[in-house]
Every structure is written in C-alpha cells, then in structure tokens.
Amino acid sequence: MIDLRSDTVTQPTIEMREAMANAEVGDDVFGEDSTINKLEEQVAHLVGKESALFLPTGTMANQVAILTHTQRGDEVILDAESHIVYYEVGAPAMLAGVQLLPVQGLLGRDAVQKLRQAYRPPDIHLPTSRLLCLENTFNRGGGTVMTPEEMKLVFEQAKEFGLSVHLDGARIFNAAVAARCDVKEFTQYCDSVMFSLSKGLCAPVGSMLAGNTDFIARARKYRKALGGGMRQAGILAAAGLVALKMTERLAEDHANAMALAEGLAEIKGLRVELHRVQTNIVLADITAIDTDAQSFVEEMHKRGVKCVAFGPHLVRFVTHKDVSRSDINQAIKVANIVIGSF
C-alpha cells in the first residue's frame, strides 16, 4: 500500500527506536526527565526562543498556546481554512472560551489588509482582539509557504494593534527547507510557535511549543490542566531529538511532491495548481470528473494508493519518508486508471 494520506503515517526510524530504548528518563512533572529537558533546551535554541515545552500533539500545543495568550471572551483572528478552525474540534470555544474570527484569505497575498479589516478597535460592544494565529506551511492552502518577509509585515501590523502572534508551524521546517533559510527567519516573527516532531520529521509522537520564559511557564500549567503532564515521557522525547536531525531530508519529500503534482497535472480531468506545490502537499481538483472526492479516494484505495478527500471535489496527497520515487510513479499510474474508470 502506498500511503499518501498524511506525513503523520511515517514509521519511526531504527535510530529513533534505539534512542527510545536507551533514553534516560525521570518524572517530567517534577522537571526531572533529562531527555525532555535536553529536547526542550535544544528546541528553544533552534527556534530562537527563551524556552520550550514538549507536548503530545500539535492540537494540544495550539490549544495550550491559545489558553496562555487569551482571556475568556477574547477574539482570535485566523484564516478560515486554518487547522485551528477546521480540524481542532472547536476546542478554542470549548477550552479557552474564546471567539474565533475566521478570515477568508488571511494567509494569502493581502494578509496585512485582511488583518486590518478583522481587527476590532477598543469599544464596549466588541470582543477584544487579542491574538493572531498564523499557519506555516498552510495545510489547507496546499502546503504553501508564507515567506519571512510576508510574516514580518503581518507581525508588525499585529504588534501595532497590540496583538500576540502564535504560529502554528506544524510543518515550519518544510517552510525553512523550501525557502532555503534558517527556521529562525520565520520564528522571529511570532511570540509563540508550535511545530510537530511527528509529521515529516518522523517521530512517533510529539510537538513542541516555544516562546519566552514566562509564556512557557504559564503554558506548562495549562498543559498539566489538560492532562498533558506525561511523567517518564523522555522515552518519546528521545525520538524527538533524533527527529530534529531529520529536517534536511524534507527536500526529498518536496521533490517527490513536485514529481507527483506534475504527473497528476498531465492527467485529463485532474487540475493541480503547480505554483502552489511548494512543499510536501499536493491538492488535486477533480471537479471536471463525473464523481466526488470520496469515491475517487475509495477507487484509489482499492488499487493500492491511499489519499484523502479534502473537500467535495478536492483530494490531498502528502509525501514523506516512507514513499519513494517509484511509489510516486505508481500513484500517478493508478490515478490515471481511476480517472479513466469514471
């Protein structure tokens, strides 16, 4: 089976399994897990923040960030297609009691303009605009990269409005590899950043949240409140330390994604916006075919390729360590056969 559903499906490497087996551990709630402490220190340094926190998932990291930045009733400005709006189960309302202001196209070209329109000036009737959440790379955008220059402009505008800025950087290393720059080029333009160890970096579990010392101290309490105080979790952090050394390999996933995109774009009936294929995600629009995305996905699956429906007529493919170039060629062949069958 060729699994292109997500980069979350990767198997941990042998080096990770060995590191996990040999990890030195302690009770992390007492701050005594030396492997977690090492991971948190390395990550803080890597992303240019004072402090970092290890969490089980990206969703928990985003929610802890929102809890830490906001008060109940505050408003959070973010793209209408962002992961926090779309895939986090309504958690900001459930947990932090905040109101989301989903803005169509916020993560596009006119980010600053859109932010200006969304911001609420102080007024007794209005919710308080408190937090801007960015997402880089932008998952539902097709893995697109917001450049450091674009982030700088929107960050500066947010600061003028007195907003905090959280970056959902689940795939921020994909952005850095695609832009051929240090990850700090991006993370300098946010107050807090979350990134995943468990996506293209192949760790079995784990996400990191980084920010200043006070922010992370408060975030640590929210993590505990959500049940994320994990005791001897150095066994997981050990894989995370190996994952941090795997950022450069993401270039291979990007090249495979482009090869897949080009192959799919040649199939009559499939539309792929090649300029949006900037990292490891490929979105294919099947509107021209007489079927829906779910049926297309099922037919692909029957023939050995897994992908996901991303909208009524939109299909997502994600490349990662466990798919090779020959798998990509096979996936293109299968898509050709499936399209021919409708």
Site for ligand TLP, rule CB under 6 A = 6, 8, 57-59, 62, 83, 87, 135, 139, 168, 170, 196, 198, 207
Shortest distance, position 194 Cβ to ligand TLP, whole Å: 7
In the complex, residue closest to ligand TLP by CB:
58
Produce one character per residue of 112-147: b if its CB has 16 or more CB atoms within 10 Å, e if not: bebbeebbeeeeeeeebbbbbbbbbbbbbbbbbbbe
CA–CA dist 305, 328 (Å, integer)? 10
Q: Which is nearer to ligand TLP, 12 or 58 (CB)?
A: 58
Rounded distance, CA 117 to CA 120, Å? 8
Nearest approach in angstroms of CB 84 to ligand TLP is 7
Rg (alpha carbons) of the chain, rounded to whole number: 20
The residue type of 127 is P
Nearer to ligand TLP, 151 or 289 (CB): 151
Q: Residue 326 Cβ, how far from ligand TLP at the closest point, in Å?
A: 23
DSSP state of 293: H
- Give the DSSP letter of residue 138: B
- In 161-294 the beta strands, taken as DSSP E runs, fall at 164-168, 192-196, 207-211, 281-285
Whether the upstream peptide bond of residue 137 has omega within 30° of 0, thus cis, is: yes
Of 284 and 289, the one with the shorter C-beta distance to ligand TLP is 284
> Rounded to an integer, what distance in angstroms lies between the CA atom of residue 92 and that of residue 127?
15
In the bound state with ligand TLP, the residue whose beta carbon lies nearer, of 177 and 289, is 177
Spacing of C-alpha 229 from chain mean position: 22
State which residue, 84 or 267, has the beta carbon closest to ligand TLP.
84
Closest CA to 244 of 42, 9, 7: 42
Q: Which is nearer to ligand TLP, 87 or 342 (CB)?
A: 87
* Shortest reach from residue 135's CB to ligand TLP, in Å: 5
Closest CB 166 distance from ligand TLP, rounded Å: 11
Rounded distance between C-alpha atoms, residue 57 and residue 206, angstroms:
5
CB 138 to ligand TLP: min, Å: 8
Q: State the nearest-atom distance from the C-beta of 123 to ligand TLP, in Å.
A: 32
Q: Which is nearer to ligand TLP, 201 or 267 (CB)?
A: 201
